Homo-oligomer: A and B are copies of this chain.
């Protein structure tokens, strides 16, 4: 599966989050062979859980499938640049690569405010591929917030 194809799936998860009243962010975890190990969407409001970001839920799903917390060699594909919590989770899970869509200048931790994925002081580094389908991913967010303002 290409990065673009995986991002399309992540965008589907994001749209589902939006329909459920959560900020539309979605994520997919791919194994070393490109198969899907887990998917997740933001459920902070729906679950009333501050940790229920799309990336955290996708990592949990992938770990459950693999039966280990070590997600070595996997790729996480997410519609929005991960926040500090989620970038830290990528490092903690030993994810190999992160692909993201829209950048997050207010809270992004994969290059915008921080780059927690590329810090040689930490015990793992994650390769970053930014800007995949970034316009489409960003539009999901701007549309969601515009519709809420109009209510």
Flag A38-65 by CB within 8 Å of B: 1 or 0 each: 0000001101111111001001100110
Q: What chain B residues lie within 8 Å of A93 (beta carbons)?
A: 50-51
Say how many copies of this protein the assembly contains.
2
Stretch of A3-11, A116-124, A131-139 contacting B (4+ beta carbons < 8 Å): A116-124
CB within 8 Å of B: which A89-140 residues: 89, 91-94, 106-107, 109, 113-114, 116, 119, 121-123
Would you call B123 and A106 a contact (CB within 8 A)? yes
A83 interface residue (CB < 8 Å to B) = yes
Main secondary structure of the interface of A (DSSP, over half): loop
Q: What chain B residues lie within 8 Å of A109 (beta carbons)?
A: 84, 88
Would you call B122 and A92 a contact (CB within 8 A)? no
CB within 8 Å of B: which A49-87 residues: 49-53, 56, 59-60, 63-64, 66-71, 83-87
